[in-house]
Structure 1
Amino acid sequence: MNAVVNDWPSAQTLPSVRAELNYLKPGESRPVSYTFDPPAGVPWTTGAVAPQRVTIRDGRPLAALGEFSLDKSGFQLLGHRSALSDFSDEAVIRSVYHEESAQLLRKATGAEKVLVFDHTLRDSALGSRANAALREPVRRVHNDQTFVSGPRRVRDHLPPEEATERLKHRFAIVNLWRPLSTVERLPLALCDARSIAPEDLVPSDLVYRDKVGETYSFLHNPAHRWYWFPKLRPDEVLLLKIYDSRSDGTARLTAHTAFENPADAPDAPPRRSIELRALLFWSAAQAT
């Protein structure tokens, strides 16, 4: 992890909002979340939250200056119009959108190989944690992988021999997040990787029907620097660093969460989005 940044003079004058983010309550045992209906009497999620009121700054001015990148801040805003306008057909998403996104990620990162391994559609009005086809936005500060589960993803999705070879060189996991309509409520807040300390991370179990994955929950740290991109449009995407094997000061992950922006109209349309997750691999020559 990078050293915590405490002095951010260039960000102090940015437009901002004060909003509550749901951090993990200190002292909780290892949190557990289910991706399907849990057994009778077992809660969907354990690990009490401790809402914290924080400043979330408008990231658009800094993005225009090139201040954010996957390897520096752990997230990046890009303009990109999808060839797909209708995201109702799962087969078309996999055949068209996955390949389109892989090409975008290769171009943005220089990775030799990009392997998209899943996607999630979300709708704040119709989505549900019980519906794998249409989820609700996640309102807890989190990161989708850990330093343990990141390498597991390589073994999960590549043949054994190729996985062994790829694990010798740099690889990463990146989420590509796109709104399906202009975001007017429950926007995504992103934490600059340079403001995250190792002790902020809490490994947490994510239970699938066939395995148990591992994600990070986060403890509150007043040094965290949060940003959002107001009125994000469908022709814009956010790239989020979820894991990076490189440990030379490169951003290895970030934290993110949906949040209630007090400036948004209460009758604003629901937030609809798609997030796509991909493994990125660099060759031995690129990784040096």
Structure 2
Amino acid sequence: MGAEVVAPPSVVKADINYYLEIADGGTDTIYPGTAKDKLRPGNLVPMDITDLRECSEEFTLDTHGFQFVPHKSAESNFTDDATIKRVVYPEAAELLKSVTGATRVHPFSHLVRRQRWETAVEAAKNAEPTEIIPIMTPSLLCHVDQSYDGAQQVLDQNFPAEEAARFRKTRWAITNIWRPIGSPALRDQLGVCDARSCDEGDLRKVFAVLPGSGAGSRVSRGKGFEVFNVAHNEKHKWYYASRMTPDETLMIKCYDSKLDGTARRTPHTAFQTKFDVGPPRQSIEDPE
């Protein structure tokens, strides 16, 4: 018999893994995927997380920095990269156009996560600090995928210089489309922070050095990019969509060039509660 699924309350309490300040042992340079990164200490703070399914408010990308959007994908396995690029990328682009009114969408990568965070941590404990741990898990760290400067770096890494320059003359953004795959998400669910409740002063610049890019290079274009980790602030308002299914998506604003008060970025993280049950959460995220 499988584990009993108990409906969580409308507000759950969970530890959010916030940024550990450098003075307390934190860092401003990370090496994603390495054993050292899997074991990096954080600042665990219990926070209330509200089920947006229980809210009357309509959450939107431009106001809150995230948006819940039902959508059925034509793909069901998500095991072949070529198929994902052929099937999922175009449908994700059309979905984002329909939600935002964007005239052009360019999917540039994806991540499929299928294993438990604890599995990666145990592997990291028995590895050298610089060893890559090839176990894709939910990210239990409060972050934004790119900083403002990091978004510019990602733009330059994905487009020729002249085309990137044209983008900078218009409004452009980076949005992550996240969905469970295979089965509903019953553990390690995805929390999002209302962009309006996160002050600019809560954001910490951290440089992510990509695998194979050398020991600690912080300046070479194409070697990595800058992200935001997020320091705790009691004003943060956290939300999630309980028991999301593969026919539902959560759109997350990572960057927006618009400066008129529109939400520009949304901290997010997986979180764990006593209501978590079942096998490892499986999900795909597709930034564009």
Query: Per the shorter chain, which TM-score range?
Result: 0.7 to 0.9
Count of residue pairs brought into register by the alignment:
256
CA distance in 1, matches of 2:172, 2:34: 33
- Structure 2 stretches of 5 or more lacking a match? 1-8, 125-131, 214-222
Contact 1:154 1:167 in 2 (8 A): no
Q: What residue is the counterpart of 1:196 in the other structure?
A: 198
Deviation at 1:131, TM superposition (A): 5.4
CA distance in 1, matches of 2:151, 2:64: 19
- Structure 1 stretches of 5 or more lacking a match? 1-13, 279-288
Q: What residue is the counterpart of 1:156 in the other structure?
A: 157
Matches within 5 A, 1:256-267: 256-265=268-277
Q: What residue is the counterpart of 2:114 in the other structure?
A: 123
Task: State whether structure 2 residue 84 is matched by structure 1 residue 87.
Answer: no
Contact 1:30 1:203 in 2 (8 A): no
Provide the TM-score with structure 2 as the length reference: 0.83
Report the identity percentage.
37
Task: State whether structure 2 residue 286 is matched by structure 1 residue 276.
Answer: yes
Q: What residue is the counterpart of 1:17 in the other structure?
A: 12
Contact 2:175 2:251 in 1 (8 A): yes
In 2 relative to 1, CA 153–51 (structure 1 residues): closer, same or farther, beyond 3 Å?
Answer: same
Higher strand share: 1
Q: What residue is the counterpart of 1:101 in the other structure?
A: 92
Q: What residue is the counterpart of 2:233 in the other structure?
A: 221
Higher helix share: 2
Matches within 5 A, 1:42-57: 43-44=36-37, 48-57=41-50
Deviation by residue 1:216-266 (Cα, 9 ceiling, x = unmatched): 11110000000111100000000000000111100000011111122223x
Task: State whether structure 2 residue 67 is matched by structure 1 residue 76.
Answer: yes
CA distance in 2, matches of 1:215, 1:81: 30
Deviation at 1:66, TM superposition (A): 5.3
Contact 1:32 1:45 in 2 (8 A): no
Structure 2 residue matching 1:250: 3-state secondary structure: coil
2:186 to 180, 184, 187: 184
Contact 1:74 1:241 in 2 (8 A): yes
Deviation larger for 183-192 or 118-127: 118-127
CA distance in 2, matches of 1:25, 1:160: 36
Deviation at 1:45, TM superposition (A): 6.0
CA distance in 2, matches of 1:272, 1:131: 18
Structure 2 residue matching 1:213: 3-state secondary structure: strand
Deviation by residue 1:80-122 (Cα, 9 ceiling, x = unmatched): 0000111111110011111111111111111111000100000
CA distance in 2, matches of 1:131, 1:139: 16
Amino acid corresponding to residue 281 of structure 2 in structure 1:
R
CA distance in 2, matches of 1:98, 1:80: 14
Deviation at 1:156, TM superposition (A): 1.5
CA distance in 2, matches of 1:107, 1:235: 17
Structure 2 residue matching 1:173: 3-state secondary structure: strand
Contact 1:24 1:220 in 2 (8 A): yes
Contact 2:116 2:138 in 1 (8 A): no
CA distance in 2, matches of 1:274, 1:217: 21
Task: Give the root-mean-square deviation of aligned CA atoms.
Answer: 2.0
In 2 relative to 1, CA 125–19 (structure 1 residues): closer, same or farther, beyond 3 Å?
Answer: closer
In 2 relative to 1, CA 94–131 (structure 1 residues): closer, same or farther, beyond 3 Å?
Answer: farther
Structure 2 residue matching 1:118: 3-state secondary structure: coil
Provide the TM-score with structure 1 as the length reference: 0.83
